[in-house]
Structure 1
């Protein structure tokens, strides 16, 4: 009996990993939202968030998890943002240090700015976990559009992220 249950669990785990690795989320279609949120951490995320803002698909951008050492002027120079756009439309969030705290920082910003719809921009392999953490913290009624930045993750990166996703789901189930 134990051997069958163990075998079934391993099979489910393996099939889940195959699904996770080969069915990565994709970029969103051009739809307007109140805001765009980008958790830092992966290449192309911030550039995609700024592109969404520049295209007029959102009025505001939150970059969550910015290193405390980064100055707004440095950010603007690195990403080609002018001072006026930085002041009116881009918020640099310095409170987050991981995916869970990105979600908390985002939820507070969404509530403070009365955001009703947002576009989450993150790397394809990170999207499921980031969206899951965000869904547990956002106020009710906020629509989230998932906009994945395509990447070419390594097997090791996929393997690690799959297990982080499983841990995140488990934590959500037990209310952590």
Structure 2
């Protein structure tokens, strides 16, 4: 009996481990930044360098609008602009920047962004977030914006070590947590798909 109990556990652990390796390796993929212009740039707050990257891209003219999702209630656009050099600030019209204050997690980022996208008739967007957060973000955003073209723009935070990540306790812990969050988001995505198909069958 013990053997029959151990086999499923070993298979589950092996599957989890292989999934983790795939997830960690996907973070290391070198995606060259696309120079394609989009209708908007979307920045998800929650990590260093995301906002400054979005502002720099806006100053370069890669989009006409910038939406920053998950901003703290008292943050002002002027404060955010101070994160980039003065020469870049001069190229940015503050009226082209909108802030979203409602989102507190990635799912809410996608919901909040979807409302803004539909309101502003956006058809293409560039999504800026950390490389370890990108796969889950794309999964969430694809559910709320299925008809919108999304160009990923992952950034690698300074203190995040994607190479030899298991040797860095902080990075190791972050990847494990993000992997579990991705699995949770994937499970919810699959359940929604099954629920939708079930509804279609019984119509």
Give the TM-score normalised by the residue count of structure 1: 0.90
1:16-165 map, 5 Å: 16-24=19-27, 25=29, 26-79=31-84, 81=89, 85-87=93-95, 89-138=96-145, 140-151=146-157, 152-153=160-161, 154-165=171-182
**Counterpart secondary structure, 2:34:** coil
Q: How many residues align?
A: 174
Structure of larger gyration radius = 2
Name stretches of at least 5 consecutive residues in structure 2 with no aligned partner.
Answer: 162-170, 196-203
Give the TM-score normalised by the residue count of structure 2: 0.79
Name stretches of at least 5 consecutive residues in structure 1 with no aligned partner.
Answer: none
Which residue of structure 2 lines up, in the alignment, with residue 171 of structure 1?
188
Backbone CA RMSD of aligned residues: 1.9
In 2, Cα distance between equivalents of 1:18 and 1:83: 42
Runs of 4+ aligned structure 1 residues displaced above 6 Å come to: none
Cα shift at 1:75: 2.5
Cα shift at 1:109: 0.6
**Does the aligned pair in 2 maintain the 1:76–1:82 contact within 8 Å?**
no
Give the structure, 1 or 2, with the largest relative contact order (CA under 8 Å, sep 6 or more). Answer: 1
**Does the aligned pair in 2 maintain the 1:27–1:150 contact within 8 Å?**
no
- CA-to-aligned-CA distance 1:124-152 (integer Å, 9 cap, x gap): 000011111111111x4210001100131
